[in-house]
Structure formats: structure tokens, C-alpha cells
């Protein structure tokens, strides 16, 4: 019937347990709070990506130069003119200077015009080289070198007029005839001319002490005179050999590193030239020193007594890792024949005993490392030798392993070794990987790339293994 009200079954819904829901929410809140507190108090785990690089320690040192050199003095009084530029190689008969006792030739020479001097491309290049060399070696700690720069620049420019000046003197003497009061001075022996002096021309290895390096600034005196000189006055310096030596102080660590190599790569900072000389190390007055002998570039340093060097030590290529990531783990050292192959892979046969005393041999699968190292054989030759290691965590000291299931040979695990390694986390958990260090400095280590079971480029490792343990999961 249309007007009749419907009726049906009414299903009553059970109310949820409010106490249970409240307890669940409280426990969940406590869990979230606990995790938050733990995350704030837990030490952060930093991860480093392994890279393939080269490390070379560049050590800056300042040394003192030793040369075969001598000061040449004037044997008479008079007015002086120079005809050779600083740094010029001369022969025994080369006219270096002239002395005019009366000053007559000197005055005529002063009044003679040298004419217009045109710069050649080589002249321009020389001037630019002087400026570039000064800029490259500029240091606020050696500001006094600006005077040497000015001297070198003046010398380069004056070199342009020397040849013209000598021609003028020759012409004046030809016009007036021989003058007894006028005399040329020649070198007397071949060498290289310099017009500076620092008073250390006679310095040799026997005179060097630790005090030699207390002051390492060039303090030079200009020898080139502009007017008259007295007899006995130093008028130039002659370097008779292009071979030269540099002696420099070292730290104890630098001394130790250099002793490992017979040669080192050295950069001469002022001219940015690289050389590979033999190096001799020695100790003196409780300090550490080295000496290198060079046969090139002496002319560029002819007016310097001190020199800045950059010495490259320990040039090694491989995988670069931070030193902070390295830890040590204990392993038992075993012969390679005790590593057996099974269907599950490489393992060792642990020796155990039944109740009746019968031995049984059970395959175990601890971490196994095979490291190849260079060792001397009985003939004194360096050969490759492979040594196997098994994790000491897997066995008690004194446990035995066998080389086959028949127990033909047995070995007690007693020889422990601590191996360097890192925690690799490529798989989401900490896994010990062995490393073989080729070189390390204060911050980084270079490790070999071909270590069995070791690292490869782009592997991820734990930066600080102290904050985590092996097999821990990385969140």
C-alpha cells in the first residue's frame, strides 16, 4: 500500500574500543618521538665516493745558490765605461770595460750621440720576459726583489747601446791615436758577466751552517760604476761555470720522503722550469738538508743568491680515499691451498669432532682475501706472492682447518694479521673491503686499484668507520 510506512530490520553497529584506539595513538606518538630523539642524538654517517686520481706533494722551499764565481777589481784609478751586458757569455779576450785615467776619452764618449736605437722583436721579447718573470715570482714576503727587477730591466735596455758605444770608442781612438792613459780590460777567462755582488762569492759547502738560512733575502750591491773608480774597486763579477748547486733545509718528513728517491722533480719558481736532478741529503746541526746539482738555467739566476723551489714528492696514481675512512680488521693468515672450492663458492674446511672423537670436515664461508705482494725470493729477486686471509671473527684462536675432506693436512689458526680496509656501503650495509696503500699524506691515501676483493672507482665508503659497525644497515 502506497501510504503504508515501510519497516525493516535494523542492524546495530558495535562501537569501537575507544581505549584501544587511544592506547595505540599514544604508543605511536612515543615511537615517533623516540625515533626523532634518536635521529638527533645519533652520529651522522657520511659517505664518500671513491675516485681515481693522482697525488703529488708539492713542497715549497727556499735554498741558497752555490756557483764558481769571483769578483774582478780595477787595477788602476780612472773613469770607467762598460761594453758588455749583464748575463752575457764572454771569452777570455772579450773587452769588458775600459779605464780612462785622464778622463779625456771618457768626456768625448759622453758627448757622443749613440743615435736612435730601434727595438727588434728579440729586444721586445727580452723586455717582456723580464716583466713576466717578475710577475710570476712576485711575493709580498720578498718585496726587495723589485730592485733586482728594475736592475734587470735597465740592463736589458742598456744592452742595446753597448755595441754602439764600443764602436764610438774605437773611432775616437783611431782619430786621436793610441792613448797610454786609456786601457781596455778583458775577462782573462771565459765565463758569464754580472754587475752585482752580495759578498758571498766565495761561499762553498764547507761554509754552510744552519745560520745560513736565518735570512734568505737577496741583498745585492750594484758594481756597475757610472764615473770614476779607484784601484782595487770591484767592477764586475765573473761566473766561470754554468753548473751550479742549490742547498735547502727540509723538515723531517720531507727529508724522509726525499731519501726514498735518487731523483726528484723540481720546479724553479721564478722561471717555471722543471728539472729532475739528483739529490743528496745530509744532516747538520741537528737539522735536515738537501743539495741538488744543476747544469741549466744558471744565467736566469745569476743575480740571485736565494731561490724558491717547488719539490714534487711521492707522485702516485690510484684510487683516492680519505685517511679518516681507513680502519683495521683482524684476519688469520693461511696458505692458499687451504682455500677450497665448493658449489657455494670458496670456503675453508673447519675441523670438528663427533662425540666418539671422529673428525668431520665442514665447509665454512668466512670472508676470504687473497692479496698479492712483492717479496724477495731466495735469489734476492722481487717476485709476486699471494697470501690468503680469513676473517678472525669466524673462528676461535687455535681452531683447525683442513686442505681436503680426508684431513690430509691440518692447520691451527694462530697467525693473526691486521689488514687495512674500509667499510663499503654499495649494497646498503657496511662491508669490509681490503686496501693496499701506495702512498698517503696528512689527508688522503692513494691505494692500489687491483687489490683482490678491494675497491673500484665510484664505490661508496663510510667516511668515519668509528660511528658504525660492520654489517650495519645504512639508512
Buried b (16+ CB within 10 A) or exposed e, 388-407: bbbbbebbeeebbbbbeeee
- Shortest CA distance to 70 belongs to which of 208, 254, 202, 195? 202
Provide the β-strand partners of residue 23: none
- The region that residue 188 occupies, defined by phi over 0 for left and psi between -120 and 50 for alpha, beta otherwise, is left
Residues with Cβ within 8 Å of residue 51, at least 6 apart in sequence? 319, 320, 457, 458
Q: Which cell is 131 given? A: 716583466
Task: Outline where DSSP puts E strands in 43-158.
Answer: 47-49, 51-66, 69-73, 78-82, 89-90, 95-100
Contacts of range 364-369, beta carbons closer than 8 Å, 24 or more positions apart: 364/394, 364/395, 366/390, 366/391, 366/393, 366/394, 366/395, 367/391, 367/394, 367/432, 368/339, 368/453, 369/331, 369/419, 369/434, 369/452, 369/453
What angle, 0 to 180 degrees and rounded to 10, lies between the N-to-C axes of helices 121-137 and 145-176?
A: 150
pLDDT digit string (tens) for the chain, length 475 residues: 445 555 556 555 555 556 667 777 778 788 777 766 655 555 678 999 999 987 777 788 999 999 999 999 999 999 888 888 888 999 999 989 988 888 777 777 666 655 555 656 666 676 677 677 667 666 665 555 666 666 566 666 666 666 567 767 777 776 666 666 888 899 999 999 999 999 999 999 999 999 999 888 888 899 988 778 999 999 999 999 999 999 999 988 888 878 766 678 899 998 999 999 989 999 998 899 999 999 999 999 999 999 999 988 767 789 999 999 999 999 999 999 999 999 899 999 999 999 888 899 999 999 999 988 777 777 878 888 888 999 999 999 999 999 998 889 999 999 999 999 999 999 999 999 999 998 888 889 999 988 888 999 999 999 999 999 999 988 7
Q: Which pTM was predicted?
A: 0.58
Q: What angle do CA 40, 42, 43 make, to 5 degrees?
A: 115
Report the DSSP pairing between strands 410-412 and 444-447: unpaired
Amino acid at each position: 500500500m502506497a501510504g503504508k510506512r515501510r519497516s525493516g530490520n535494523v542492524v546495530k553497529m558495535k562501537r569501537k574500543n575507544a581505549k584501544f584506539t587511544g592506547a595505540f595513538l599514544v604508543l605511536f606518538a612515543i615511537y615517533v618521538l623516540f625515533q626523532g630523539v634518536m635521529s638527533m642524538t645519533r652520529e651522522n654517517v657520511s659517505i664518500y665516493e671513491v675516485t681515481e686520481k693522482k697525488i703529488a706533494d708539492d713542497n715549497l722551499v727556499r735554498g741558497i745558490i752555490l756557483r764558481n764565481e769571483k769578483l774582478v777589481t780595477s787595477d788602476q784609478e780612472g773613469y770607467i765605461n762598460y761594453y758588455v751586458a749583464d748575463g752575457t757569455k764572454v771569452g777570455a779576450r772579450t773587452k769588458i770595460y775600459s779605464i780612462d785615467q785622464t778622463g779625456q776619452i771618457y768626456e768625448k764618449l759622453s758627448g757622443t750621440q749613440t743615435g736612435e736605437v730601434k727595438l727588434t722583436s728579440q729586444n721586445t721579447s727580452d723586455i717582456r720576459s723580464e716583466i713576466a718573470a717578475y710577475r710570476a715570482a712576485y711575493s709580498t714576503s720578498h718585496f726587495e726583489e723589485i730592485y733586482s727587477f728594475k736592475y734587470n730591466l735597465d740592463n736589458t735596455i742598456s744592452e742595446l747601446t753597448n755595441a754602439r758605444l764600443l764602436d764610438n770608442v774605437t773611432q775616437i781612438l783611431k782619430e786621436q791615436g793610441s792613448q797610454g792613459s786609456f786601457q781596455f780590460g778583458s775577462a782573462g777567462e771565459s765565463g758569464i758577466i754580472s754587475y752585482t755582488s752580495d759578498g758571498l762569492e766565495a761561499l762553498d759547502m764547507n761554509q754552510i751552517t744552519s745560520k745560513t738560512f736565518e735570512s734568505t733575502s737577496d741583498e745585492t750591491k750594484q758594481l756597475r760604476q757610472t764615473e770614476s773608480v779607484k784601484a782595487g774597486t770591484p767592477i764586475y763579477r765573473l761566473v766561470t761555470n754554468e753548473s751550479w748547486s742549490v742547498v735547502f733545509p727540509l723538515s723531517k718528513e720531507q727529508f724522509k720522503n726525499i731519501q726514498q728517491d735518487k731523483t726528484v722533480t723540481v720546479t724553479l719558481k721564478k722561471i717555471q722550469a722543471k728539472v729532475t736532478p739528483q739529490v743528496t741529503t745530509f744532516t747538520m746541526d741537528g737539522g735536515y738538508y738537501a743539495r741538488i746539482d744543476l747544469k741549466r738555467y744558471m744565467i736566469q739566476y745569476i743575480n740571485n743568491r736565494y731561490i724558491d723551489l717547488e719539490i714534487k714528492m711521492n707522485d702516485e696514481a690510484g684510487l683516492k680515499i680519505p685517511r679518516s675512512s681507513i680502519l683495521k680488521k683482524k684476519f688469520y693468515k693461511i696458505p692458499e691451498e687451504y682455500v677450497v672450492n665448493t658449489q657455494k663458492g670458496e670456503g675453508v674446511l673447519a675441523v670438528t669432532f663427533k662425540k666418539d672423537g671422529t673428525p668431520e670436515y665442514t665447509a665454512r664461508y668466512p670472508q676470504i682475501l687473497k692479496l698479492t705482494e712483492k717479496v724477495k725470493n731466495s735469489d734476492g729477486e722481487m717476485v709476486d706472492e699471494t697470501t690468503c686471509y680469513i676473517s678472525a671473527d669466524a673462528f676461535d684462536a687455535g681452531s683447525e682447518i683442513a686442505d681436503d675432506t680426508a684431513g690430509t693436512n691440518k692447520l691451527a689458526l694462530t697467525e693473526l694479521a691486521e689488514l687495512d680496509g674500509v667499510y663499503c656501503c654499495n649494497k646498503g650495509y657496511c662491508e669490509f673491503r681490503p686496501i693496499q696503500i701506495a702512498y698517503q699524506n696528512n689527508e688522503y691515501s692513494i691505494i692500489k686499484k687491483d687489490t683482490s676483493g678491494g675497491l673500484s672507482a665510484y664505490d661508496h665508503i663510510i667516511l668515519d668507520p668509528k660511528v658504525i659497525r660492520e654489517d650495519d644497515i645504512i639508512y
